[in-house]
Amino acid sequence: MAAITPSLVKELRDRTGLGMMECKKALKEAEGDIETAIDNMRKASGLKAAKKSGRTAAEGIAVVKIADDNKSAIIVEVNSETDFAAREANFLGFANLVAEKAFETKQTDVAALMAGDLEKAREELVQKIGENISVRRIEYVEGDVVSAYTHGAKIAAVTVLTGGTPELAKDISMHIAASNPQFLNPEDVSEDVLEREKEVVRAQSEDSGKPAEIIEKMMVGRIKKFLAEISLTEQAFVKDPDVKIGQLAKKANATIESFIRFEVGEGIEVEVVDFAAEVAAAAAGV
């Protein structure tokens, strides 16, 4: 039986994408033969895919499909564990397959969409590339005019207009991708978001030592600026800062009805792993 060293465990992990302890166990069962360990892992493909499902997948791609008549669109986020896997041809093919199926069926429930052939394809892809793959979220929209913009593979935005043109909707989507507005209009800003900002501004203003009437004016100005910064219609258009997005739409006799923005991995808490410590822990248990 070959010695099961930390470097051998690391090599198996690098080649399979599995955890340190799982690799160590596989090597013990294979009596230190790394090729046998890999073969045994491949034979347990279904189990491997299931065990991988708990690993954090915060990289990936956002895919958009738009109808030929620009009346509807779907936006999908498909995740992988690493950016390297997100650029792999088989992963990209799977992500597009998911988006096409979602667009055809108008299905936004991930579990319902994946049931059957797509889930089988996902498990096969997990086995092939050695990473957890997951479909995180799907949004479908319809409207008078719908278009989108994708920045690389990581950020995608869709805009729905009444009136206007697909070109205008695409321009506004590009702005959304770049500026990340949180709300459509200032009046849409939720009360809790507004109150939190008021508390911050109030504390900062009171620390200034200025008279109460001046503080009140400062607060009004700061809150107005805050609302403009997070509201799409009040933001300065990235391609022409002298024009607000609301004005841009109005000039084209268009009304912005809604928008969606996906940024891959946003809101996912990624565990930071100290790989050196992990290797040391595995070595201590050998």
Does 49 reside within a domain? yes
- Cβ neighbours for 286, distance < 8 A, ≥ 6 positions apart: 4, 5, 6, 9, 24
Residues 120 and 258 in one domain: yes
- The CATH number of the domain holding residue 44 is 1.10.8.10
pTM of the predicted model as reported, rounded to 2 decimal places: 0.73
Task: Categorize the per-residue pLDDT at 147 as very low, low, confident or very high, splitting at 50, 70 and 90.
Answer: very high
pLDDT in tens, 3-36: 888 888 887 777 776 778 888 888 899 888 888 8
Residues 207 and 234 in one domain: yes
Task: Report, in angstroms and rounded to the nearest whole number, the Rg of the chain calculated over CA atoms.
Answer: 25
The total of structural domains in the chain comes to: 3
Residues 100 and 195 in one domain: no
User: What 3-state DSSP class applies to 210?
Assistant: coil
Question: Which of these, 50, 9, 78, 19, lies nearest to 271 by C-alpha position?
Answer: 19
Residues 153 and 259 in one domain: yes
Q: How far is CA 102 from the centre of its chain?
A: 17
Residues 238 and 168 in one domain: no
Residues 95 and 219 in one domain: no
Residue ranges making up the domain that contains 237: 186-249
Residues 69 and 89 in one domain: yes
Rounded to whole angstroms, the Cα distance separating 280 from 275 reads 9
pLDDT in tens, 255-268: 999 999 999 998 87
* Both tokens assigned to 142: 């319809």
